[in-house]
Amino acid sequence: MSLTPLTNKDAKWIIAEFIETLSNTNLSNGVIHQTVRKVLESINLFRETKIDRKDIEIFLKTYVGDKPRRGKRYKSMWDFAIITKWAEITFDTKDKLTLQRRALILTMIFGALRPAELERMRSETTIFKDNSIQTQERTKTSGGEIVKVIIRKHPNPRIDAVEALQRWMDYVKTTFKCENVWFDTEGSRPANLQKIKEELRAILRENEIPETFTAYSIRLAVITHSARQEGADWKAINAYARWAPGSRVAQEYYTVLPVQDTNWILETI
């Protein structure tokens, strides 16, 4: 016996009942939005006629209401120049721990990478050319597509991510002989995400940046720094951070203004 396929109308009633069930829990609108969106995107895998993303958003607004907008994670931000000064001071290091930390933070800064993206880096997909590094990453949005991330040489060799990463990976090839890029240098095993965050936070603490700021704040500090430059090019900033050309994420969530009479903090807003 063959089954009659569900019509779009029937499917919407089923999803509406599913949403009503979720709404009777303590879940926030934001979590409900995310859950329903994932369900509908999964359904798309089995449909010949795909559900348009705009239709999904309209459906969610109709049955759930607008997703609450999140505010800025930080009301203040530390000065990006602190880390570039630290990188310059530690340029001649032979210490393996500092060698890796320099490569980690400079790669994150000039590649606009998130800590999780750093963890996924592999030597076989990290290619060095004369004036750049090319690696691959899976995007956070747009279905997680694979994109190329290109990091170009910096005119100041003391804060050059290409040079720092090359030195570190040369050490890795002769010491660890593994496809991973980052390691727990004490235990000589590949570094997981938690370890990578620990190493990045250690750099922040070494430079007296308060514990309020996490490893992810490095990305926010760089984007804030870029946005504060005279004649900031938002299209270029979005391209650097791998956001859509018209995205307003940087303006709305990442940037704050400078404050006077402090060494590290940017203005509370």
* Choices 1.10.287.610, 3.40.50.2300, 3.30.1490.20, 1.10.443.10: CATH for 81-254: 1.10.443.10
Domain ranges of the chain: 8-63, 81-254
- At 154, list the tokens: 């910096």
Phi-psi region of 20 (alpha: psi -120 to 50; beta: other; left: phi over 0): alpha
Q: Report the candidate in 131, 74, 35 with the shortest Cα–Cα distance to residue 269.
A: 74
Query: CB-hemisphere CA count at 13 Å for 228?
Result: 18
Query: pLDDT tens across 125-147, in order?
Result: 889 887 888 887 665 544 556 77
CB 267 within 8 A of CB 258: yes
- Min mean pLDDT across 18-22, 69-73, 97-101, 153-157 is at 69-73
Query: pLDDT tens across 64-104, in order?
Result: 555 555 556 777 788 889 999 999 999 999 999 999 999 99
User: Three-state DSSP class for 229?
Assistant: coil
pLDDT for res 258: 43
Residues 6+ positions from 227 with CB-CB distance below 8 Å: 234, 237, 250, 251, 254, 255
> How many C-beta neighbours within 10 Å does residue 208 have?
10
Angstrom distance (rounded) from CA 122 to CA 173: 12
Angstrom distance (rounded) from CA 201 to CA 195: 10
Amino acid identity, position 40: L
User: Three-state DSSP class for 146?
Assistant: strand
Residues 6+ positions from 262 with CB-CB distance below 8 Å: none
- Min mean pLDDT across 32-41, 109-118, 120-129, 213-222 is at 32-41
Q: What residue spans of the chain are helical by DSSP H? A: 8-23, 29-44, 53-63, 81-89, 96-111, 115-119, 161-175, 193-206, 217-228, 234-241, 249
User: Three-state DSSP class for 265?
Assistant: strand
